[in-house]
Amino acid sequence: MKVSQRGLVEMNLDAQYKYVIIGNSAAGIGCVEGIRKVDKEGSIAVISEEKMHTYSRCLTSYYIAGVVDDEKILFRPKDYYAKKNVTPILGKKVVKILPEDNHIVLDDGTRIGYSSLMIATGASPVIYDIPGNNKPGVFVLRTYEDARRISEAAAPGKRAVVMGGGLVGLKAADALHAKGVEVWVIVTSPQIMSQTMDRDGAEILRKQLEENGIKVMTETNVEEIIGNKKVEAVRLSTGQTLTCDIVIFAKGVRPNIGLAKDAGIDTDYGILVDTHMRTSVPNIYAAGDVAEAKDFITGERYIHAIWPNAVEQGCIAGQNMAGRDVEYAGGIAMNSVDLFGLASIAVGFTRPRGKDHGYEIISRSIPEKKFYRKIVLKDGVIVGAICIGEVEAAGVFAGLIKRRANVSKIKELLLREDFDYAKVLGEGLIKDTSYFATA
């Protein structure tokens, strides 16, 4: 869709770009690079509420721990926008999308026109409605600013309560521990990592945390954050009170769909997109943590809120915005975390409800080596895998999932500690090795 100079004046716009991208993280940058694969010259504006140059959100816990600094956390070099001929509009919030007029409105009233629009607004942490949730000392961990504030508050001798035992909560706990903070992880579920890990795997990780000084309490809730002018303690559902200086909410996120919903774009839990990452409005696309896109295994729409999926979705959307015809094959879940030197990766569908749905589960545990592996199969094809301890094979399992390779005749090999790509080749399961060559 093209807007003429005359049309720009008639709509009283302050600026006009061929491509406007709302969001400056994985999906937004993926979109820039997708567009530039096809269109080297078209004007691009990237708009973000954050003032920070694009950075790697998945490194924020490492920033708290002091492992990365302001330079190493950057996702792309500081001259990135100039080299890509992109106009960054940072520190500004988009408050309205007007699809019928092809323009957006910023919080300072600026009106910006577009030919194609990308919504990559991501997700926001959930802060539960409990007494004291707005006291100084209460944090979430999502952005660079969140990480910077937590880092400033964390110091040896302080005490922290992390609410939530998922990936963000455990990485936050690990980072605080590295800063000399005494840490409790409070989990509502019977286990940590309840969304991605089975009970056996979760128990290995829990022991790893506890052996290294992080206390974990499951089937417990924080019911109140106590303190006069700042956080001083939390009251638990068990009746206990824990003295602490820092509380971190890490109990999940919600997609930021408000802009899309108000604009009349179809949404459910996230923004609904087709395999071209196109929304219900033909020249508006969405990608990343806000987009409900095709799941590779089930074919249904799902949000896999992980960095590589967001980059890939953004890149595909960008190419389509620029006129190429590219389809998204679908995403698969993949979560990894390293806790005190013990690595774990969960990929694909790892928690089926049982044999009633035709799933076959094989597993092996070697407790003295902290080795655990679980493979979920359906009709001889891997649909999910958990690797703890020896995680090098996880990439091979991901490749086999993507190739839908039938592994029936090598099932016993999958659980070996030394299982690798060579054994896949040796059995002749894969003829086309391109995925493995680039994975």
Residue 156 DSSP symbol = T
As given in the structure block, the two tokens for residue 32 are: 């820039």
Could you tell me which residues are beta bridge partners of residue 114?
17
Q: Answer left, alpha or beta for residue 325, where phi above 0 means left and psi between -120 and 50 means alpha.
A: beta
- DSSP at 295: B
Q: Which residue's structure tokens are 């979760």?
A: 202
- Annotation marks residue 244 as catalytic: no
Tell me which residue of 118, 30, 75, 21 sits closest to 315, measured CA to CA: 30
Question: Which of 31, 58, 315, 387 is flagged as catalytic?
Answer: 58
Composition of the chain by helix, strand, coil, percent to 5 = 30, 30, 40
Under DSSP, the state recorded for 197 is -
* Cα separation, 199 vs 436, whole angstroms: 30
Q: 3-class secondary structure for 283-337?
A: CEEECHHHEEEEECCCCCEECCCCHHHHHHHHHHHHHHHCCCCCCCCCECCEEEE
Could you give the CA distance from residue 196 to residue 166 in angstroms, rounded to a whole number?
8
Return the active site residues: 58
